Structure 1
């Protein structure tokens, strides 16, 4: 007979384990000595301890599911309850009970986290839907279209909700995108129709202008050309690929007529020289608008000058390019000021510039911190590498700050 604090073997070879409920039969041992019997069943106990240690570690440090954890706990508990080991089985039951409670708590935590994630996803998708529905009414076709595409990418990155809620929100989201696409398509179709109508009208004007180019009825024909010019301006722009060609033909026809008129009426050279003097005065008046300060006032003043300019007749041919070039230079300067003002006040471009500047500033600050650490640690090679990176990022930051200044800060 052999005994241990947690078990014993009687004279018949029956092995017992001591528990809080009394002795329990572990099994029968006939193949060797009682000490060997106790050692065998104590090793089985140690094996159970190892299994519980491992399971506790997996529950604590991995994403083992509650279901798998409970299955593993049940398997070990069956072995403990079968009393086929010698050791403190009651302590193992306490550990298994505690582990069961831990798994239950983690299940509840994961349930709460999942519910929170679902609620956050719902809120995020509702916000996406609201923004998409607002964008559906926008006429900023390019910007709104790009934003809607970005919203789709954001939507794809969010978790799915329950099927009914997800389908309802997606239906609204998709409907908003379809509505915007339909409106945009209709807008550009109408624009194409307008440009096509402008092309047809201008082709008729060109045909008439070309027919009049050989006329010798100077007064009425000149008046008709002025009317044709007004009709040309009122017709709107044709498609880009047609507009320049039609304009060249239209102006070419007029040039043919007025050149012939000039050649026949040489005596009118004096009038043209006077026209040149007046246009030079107007050009000088227009040039005083530069550099552009008050854009609105400059635009209005130039328009007034241009109206008086249009009312003046032809100038000598050899002076035409130069005098018109002066006016065109002022017009281009005002147009460039308008474009600069638009770029400066464009909130999307400013936001992109500000975002890039912020990112570069963060990168520079981070590199400076790393550089100081490397220097403090005496790591010369790393410090030199960080210095080169810092120089590159600082140059990009300086360039981005200069670009941001164009937006007014």
Structure 2
């Protein structure tokens, strides 16, 4: 049967009272040290410090019990080392030697367990790295993305490995993951760019159709619109349903508008032919040529008119040209070239004036020479952009297969090439005009 005052007996075994102080006997390689003082009686003081030891021992017992069932035992290592140090510094009376030995044995077992776990962690991380590196080249973007995310979660849940391996493994794993997501981002960027190019292509066809819908050159425009319809089918773009429907509605409306006008034109021609047959009065091609000469001269004179007025007058002249009658022959073609070039100059001048006004500092006024120099620089810049577009079109035309299926698209490219060649010619002639103004400012 345990002695009724067992705590006191244990306290005297590991400590003593001397000169009013409580002393712990030599332990753990340390000499005896004073741990407190006597406040009431010697026995009360000894019992108090024996209870302090018991509280500390209970703390050690609880830690070692939790360690046995812990999932992440490695996290207990620092706590065990800390308690070992406390065994040498704790103010109590008891068997610190035994507590220290138990903690050291737990430390040794824990180090073995940690080493074993780190080997398992290493094997797990190597496996995760291999899987990530295999996925880094995948193009199954949806399924591979899910797998990569799962690998990242598994990596975070996997415990540490030896410190000298940590950086290398981290770099390999995260490098493979980053490579996959960089490739996916590049793919998505390319897909968006392709979608934008598809939309731009459809919009270009819509704009071309709308620019032709009021044309009075019925025969040529009919061919052009049919070419645009073929080009529309050749795009074969994959766009959101709503966006595709909106573009198609605009394109179809422009086509329908023209062909409805063509229908009325054919009917009016039939009626006119019948009327002419009855009256015996033929139409005059010479009158049409005279009218076209007059329109070309008036268009060329518009360069001396302020651009904001010249634009409206050029548009009015274009409307008159449509009503001037159809004439075939070399002179008609030359007049058409003169007229179109003159109108182009008017529209280019208007765009140039707007460009220069936007870049001119508020409240300042440029001299005629300064304006001519700025206009020349701007036109050269515009020509450079036009040449880039022209080179791209020519390159696309050169790469186009000679298959008959591409004939209509080839004609479309050739038409756009002629348009840019005319733009460059127009701007070049304007540069000559401005350069002459700079070299002869007094004129």
TM-score in same-fold range (> 0.5)? no
TM-score, normalised by the number of residues in structure 2:
0.39
TM-score between the two structures when normalised by the length of structure 1? 0.42
Q: Which has the higher Rg, Structure 1 or Structure 2? A: 2
